[in-house]
């Protein structure tokens, strides 16, 4: 397995959260964060931002960005723009933008550059969690998931999970970037977490959320894939290669943005706004005069400031390297790997044994990691069973549906749990009785092999020998 990015969207997803999490995975994060912050806090009229939103996809072709970053941003922007057009029921040329859209588009661009820097072979996101109900945007009720978000996730066939929270946790821009970069929806059975980045955000109701992005590496890798960024010389070289020069950006932007009067006329003709419409619409004509050239110059300088450091190479090498701290709730060792699973439970007191047996078969066939029945006593002294199922987050909803379909329970308890898994490998060994499958666990005191039941049972049937005798002979021969 090459380098893999795992995006965990259990507590929100936005383009800004994605940028923050990706920046945490990069050693030049302080420098890059300053650049992004300058872009996101650009102080200029709303109509300037609207014009830049429309022109940015064409302009980045002149900025000499890495090819992968440019292509990723173009995909994300196209997905986002078509979603807005579909919801507004207009042609993409007549989509109306809001002022906040500029920040999110810039965040998508920054995230595209960061993702390109990580050079991942695979980008995994099994499922996206969002709330429900309605929220108010510009004093108008809007359903959750947001219409643009729902359109994007539906088109990209990204699985969704409804959280029991009456608020929006996923933004259209975050969904668009995820749809553009995701290459898989399944985690490998075994992997090593080499680094974790987190991005913090706020839901529509003010609740705090955290997006986690993990770099997964092959367990046999001698060193982390982030080693390419360990030295300041390499960082400086990558920055200079991946970001455009100031003179080039100035030339391209000045050639594409007309003077104030011409730009005002263009915006008013393209997206007329009546006095009754929302004052926050970015297509509204400016009320006050402003020096647009100064604002654009500030934007141009923001793109390259902090990114192209002015320090001498000797000064850069003298700095102490910065290392990102891994979250304390995730513990990785050379013998164990962290993992999150759902635990499902329900009490059943009026179901026959045949039904319960068939239910367990279906659960295991549909992705359950484990399932068991425990005998219990319920109210009125009724003998009953408690069904417990362990599963991956992406399988939880499907397994809950099976439980409701096959049993008489009317409710399922669930809890998201963390577990620590021993690293293990599978192999096939040759013996005097035939080939046998072996699973070897790696513990602190050494490796512990065990025989696979199905393989031993198959040999016992073929040789017409007792299972215990076959097991003892194989253990003695192999160990």
List, for residues 383-408, the tens digit of each pLDDT value: 999 999 999 888 999 999 999 999 99
Q: Residues 467, 471, 474, CA angle at the centre, nearest 5°? A: 140
Residue 28: the pLDDT is 66
Share of the chain above pLDDT 90, in %: 34
- Distance from chain centroid for Cα 180: 11
Does residue 329 fall inside a structural domain? Answer: no
Angle between helices 67-88 and 46-59 (to 10 degrees): 130
- 151 backbone dihedrals φ, ψ, rounded to 5°: -60, -45
Which residues does residue 215 pair with via DSSP β-bridges, in sequence order?
A: 5, 195
Nearest to 415 by CA among 338, 314, 352, 345: 345
Q: Which two tokens stand for residue 449?
A: 């092999």
pLDDT, one tens digit per residue, over 29-51 is 666 666 666 655 655 666 666 77
Which residues does residue 162 pair with via DSSP β-bridges, in sequence order?
A: 130
Does residue 324 fall inside a structural domain? Answer: no
- 204 backbone dihedrals φ, ψ, rounded to 5°: -65, -25
The upper half-sphere exposure of residue 346, i.e. CA atoms within 13 Å in the direction of its Cβ, equals: 21
Contact by Cβ (8 Å): 76, 27? no
Domain count, the chain: 3
| Distances, alpha carbon 401 to alpha carbons 114, 363, 374, 405, 412, in Å | 39, 10, 21, 6, 10
Residue 1: the pLDDT is 54
Residue 163: the pLDDT is 85
- Please tell me which residue, 275 or 42, carries the higher pLDDT value: 42
Nearest to 418 by CA among 328, 334, 347: 328
- Please tell me which residue, 476 or 314, carries the higher pLDDT value: 476
Does residue 259 fall inside a structural domain? Answer: yes
Nearest to 170 by CA among 132, 114, 213: 132
124/314 Cα distance (integer angstroms): 39
Residue 291: the pLDDT is 40
Q: Find the range with the poorest average confidence among 253-257, 259-263, 351-355, 389-393.
A: 259-263
User: Domain containing 396 — which CATH number?
Assistant: 3.30.70.1380
Residue 7: the pLDDT is 95
Does residue 408 fall inside a structural domain? Answer: yes
- Please tell me which residue, 234 or 391, carries the higher pLDDT value: 391
pLDDT tier at 6 (50, 70, 90 boundaries)? very high
39/46 Cα distance (integer angstroms): 14
269/284 Cα distance (integer angstroms): 11
Q: Which two tokens stand for residue 5?
A: 């990015």
Residue 102: burial class (beta carbons within 10 Å; 0-12, 13-18, 19+): buried
Q: Are residues 379 and 367 in the same domain?
A: yes
The upper half-sphere exposure of residue 31, i.e. CA atoms within 13 Å in the direction of its Cβ, equals: 19
Residue 171: burial class (beta carbons within 10 Å; 0-12, 13-18, 19+): buried
Q: Find the range with the poorest average confidence among 122-131, 203-212, 367-376, 400-409.
A: 203-212
Q: Residues 354, 359, 361, CA angle at the centre, nearest 5°? A: 100
Does residue 323 fall inside a structural domain? Answer: no
Residue 122: burial class (beta carbons within 10 Å; 0-12, 13-18, 19+): middle
Q: Are residues 100 and 231 in the same domain?
A: yes
41/39 Cα distance (integer angstroms): 6
36/306 Cα distance (integer angstroms): 10
359-370 average pLDDT score: 94
13: pLDDT strictly greater than 90: yes
Residue 391: the pLDDT is 93
268: pLDDT strictly greater than 50: no
456/450 Cα distance (integer angstroms): 11
19/33 Cα distance (integer angstroms): 9
Does residue 358 fall inside a structural domain? Answer: yes
Q: Are residues 386 and 435 in the same domain?
A: no
Q: Are residues 406 and 272 in the same domain?
A: no
Q: Are residues 256 and 272 in the same domain?
A: yes
Q: Are residues 388 and 472 in the same domain?
A: no
224/98 Cα distance (integer angstroms): 41
The upper half-sphere exposure of residue 228, i.e. CA atoms within 13 Å in the direction of its Cβ, equals: 11
Contact by Cβ (8 Å): 170, 128? yes
Residue 223: the pLDDT is 43
259-288 average pLDDT score: 38
327-348 average pLDDT score: 65
Query: Which of the residue ranges 163-172, 203-212, 259-268, 361-370 has the most confident prediction, judged by mean pLDDT?
Result: 361-370
pLDDT tier at 100 (50, 70, 90 boundaries)? confident
Residue in this structure with the two tokens 């979250």, named with its chain if needed: 327
- 134 backbone dihedrals φ, ψ, rounded to 5°: -135, 145
Q: Are residues 87 and 147 in the same domain?
A: yes
Q: Are residues 101 and 50 in the same domain?
A: yes
pLDDT, one tens digit per residue, over 299-331 is 444 444 433 334 444 443 444 333 333 333 334
Long-range pairs for 151-154: beta carbons < 8 A, 24 or more residues apart: 151/83, 151/86, 151/87, 152/79, 152/80, 152/83, 152/176, 152/179, 153/128, 153/179
Q: Are residues 116 and 248 in the same domain?
A: yes
Residue 231: the pLDDT is 39
471/473 Cα distance (integer angstroms): 6
Does residue 278 fall inside a structural domain? Answer: yes
> Where is the domain boundary, 285, 318, 351?
318
Residue 216 belongs to what domain range?
Answer: 4-318
36/52 Cα distance (integer angstroms): 16
> Where is the domain boundary, 380, 404, 421?
421
Does residue 253 fall inside a structural domain? Answer: yes
Residue 47: the pLDDT is 66
396/249 Cα distance (integer angstroms): 49
Q: Which two tokens stand for residue 358?
A: 């068939």
Residue 106: the pLDDT is 86
Q: Are residues 8 and 96 in the same domain?
A: yes
252: pLDDT strictly greater than 60: no
> Where is the domain boundary, 381, 400, 421?
421
| Distances, alpha carbon 124 to alpha carbons 5, 100, 158, 213, 430, in Å | 6, 28, 11, 10, 37
Q: Are residues 160 and 279 in the same domain?
A: yes
| Arithmetic mean of pLDDT over the chain | 75
DSSP 289-329: ---HHHHHHHHHHHHHTTTS--S-HHHHHHSPPP-PPPPTT
Q: Are residues 398 and 311 in the same domain?
A: no
């Amino acid at each position: 397995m090459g380098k893999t990015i795992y995006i965990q969207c259990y507590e929100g997803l936005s383009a800004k959260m994605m940028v923050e999490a990706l920046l945490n995975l990069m050693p030049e994060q302080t420098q890059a964060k300053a650049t992004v912050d300058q872009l996101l806090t650009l102080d200029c009229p709303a109509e300037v931002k609207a014009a830049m939103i429309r022109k940015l996809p064409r302009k980045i072709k002149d900025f000499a960005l890495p090819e992968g970053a440019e292509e990723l941003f173009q995909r994300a922007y196209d997905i986002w723009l078509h979603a807005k057009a579909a919801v507004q029921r207009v042609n993409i040329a007549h989509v109306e933008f809001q002022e906040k859209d500029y920040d999110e588009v810039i965040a998508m661009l920054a995230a595209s550059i960061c993702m390109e820097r990580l050079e991942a072979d695979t980008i995994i996101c099994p499922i996206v969690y969002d709330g429900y109900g309605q929220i108010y945007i510009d004093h108008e009720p809007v359903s959750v998931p947001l219409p643009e978000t729902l359109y994007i996730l539906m088109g990209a066939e990204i699985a969704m999970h409804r959280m029991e929270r009456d608020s929006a946790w996923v933004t259209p821009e975050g969904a668009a970037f995820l749809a553009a970069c995701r290459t898989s929806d399944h985690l490998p059975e075994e992997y090593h977490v080499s680094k974790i980045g987190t991005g913090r955000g706020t839901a529509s109701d003010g609740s705090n959320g955290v997006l986690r992005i993990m770099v997964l590496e092959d367990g046999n890798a001698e060193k982390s894939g982030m080693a390419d960024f360990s030295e300041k010389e390499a960082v400086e070289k990558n920055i200079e290669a991946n970001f455009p020069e100031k003179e080039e950006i100035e030339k391209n932007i000045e050639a594409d943005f007309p003077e104030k009067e011409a730009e005002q006329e263009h915006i008013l003709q393209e997206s007329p706004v009546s006095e009754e419409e929302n004052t926050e619409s970015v297509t509204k004509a400016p009320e006050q005069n402003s020096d647009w050239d100064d604002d654009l110059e500030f934007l141009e300088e923001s793109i390259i400031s902090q990114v192209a450091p002015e320090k001498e190479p000797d000064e850069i090498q003298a700095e102490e390297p910065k290392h990102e701290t891994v979250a304390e709730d995730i513990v990785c060792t050379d013998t164990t790997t962290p993992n999150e699973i759902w635990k499902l439970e329900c009490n059943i007191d009026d179901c026959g044994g045949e039904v319960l047996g068939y239910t367990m078969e279906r659960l295991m066939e549909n992705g359950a990691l484990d399932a068991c029945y425990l005998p219990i006593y319920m109210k009125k002294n009724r003998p009953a069973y408690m069904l417990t199922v362990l599963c991956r987050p992406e399988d939880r909803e499907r397994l809950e549906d099976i439980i409701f379909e096959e049993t008489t329970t009317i409710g399922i308890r669930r809890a998201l749990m963390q577990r620590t898994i021993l690293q293990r490998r599978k192999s096939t060994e040759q013996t005097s009785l035939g080939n046998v499958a072996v699973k070897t666990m790696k513990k602190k005191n050494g490796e512990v092999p065990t025989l696979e039941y199905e393989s031993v049972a198959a040999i016992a049937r073929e040789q017409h020998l007792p299972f215990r005798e076959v097991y003892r002979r194989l253990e003695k021969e192999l160990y």
